[in-house]
Amino acid sequence: DDDKGDTTVVSDLDSLPPTPASLPAPLTPLQDCSMDEDSVFKVPQENVGQRTRSKLDLNLLPLESLEQAFVPPDITQDMYEQECDNPDWHEFLKEFTQPLAVNETLEDDVDNDPEYNILEDIEGQPVEDKEEMRKDRAVKVTKKELNALISELFECTDIPSSDDETNAQTSESIAALEESIMKETEDRERREAGRRGIHPHQRELLGQQLRQHVQLTTQHFLQT
């Protein structure tokens, strides 16, 4: 009989519909609230961030004042020498820690410090003569004219000569001078010829030769 009773109870339990498990109710955090003067509305208490945050306006407060008020927690008084009899050092520390003094803007002294006018300087400079700056063939002195001028110069110069030896030395000095002048003239013309640019025809011919060289080199590379 006991076995039949146990079987009946188990079958009755199986026939019952399953019931969902009840979830625990969420815990609401307790907040410390205080009533207002009329005791109608609850005023929540300020959190830590609102209690510790400074509400002072720091826009007009210089940064040096904040740094001076800061006390480092890892620095003690015995780490630095506090006693010093040098007034310059104290003045330096004071200027270094205090806000920088703003210099007042000085008004422009127009009478003693006028503005620079470049047009006045340009007008005061002498105008260059284009004829004096010419370097074309029309004003260039040739070798023949230079030699004639040098010969005329030595002919007009009164050179005292007492004997044949003096005359020989004079002629040698004249010849050496003429030779040095001729050499200097040739060197100048050689330098001027070296500074001259390439003729357009020569430039065109050089470009054609370079193009042909590149073409031949490319063909040789492709054939190999």
pLDDT reported for residue 173 = 79
Element (H, E) at 51: helix 48-52
With beta carbons less than 8 A apart as the criterion, state whether 185 and 146 touch: yes
pLDDT tens figures, 116-174? 887 777 666 666 677 777 778 878 888 888 888 888 888 877 655 455 566 667 777 78
With beta carbons less than 8 A apart as the criterion, state whether 182 and 143 touch: yes
pLDDT reported for residue 31 = 47
pLDDT reported for residue 49 = 57
pLDDT reported for residue 30 = 46
Provide the b/e sequence for 110-137 (b: ≥16 CB within 10 Å). Answer: eeeeeeeeeeeeeeeeeeeeeeeeeeee
Per-block average pLDDT, block size 10, for the chain (224 residues)? 49 56 50 53 59 68 76 75 78 74 65 78 68 78 86 74 63 81 82 69 87 89 83
With beta carbons less than 8 A apart as the criterion, state whether 137 and 146 touch: no
42 DSSP β-pair partners? 35
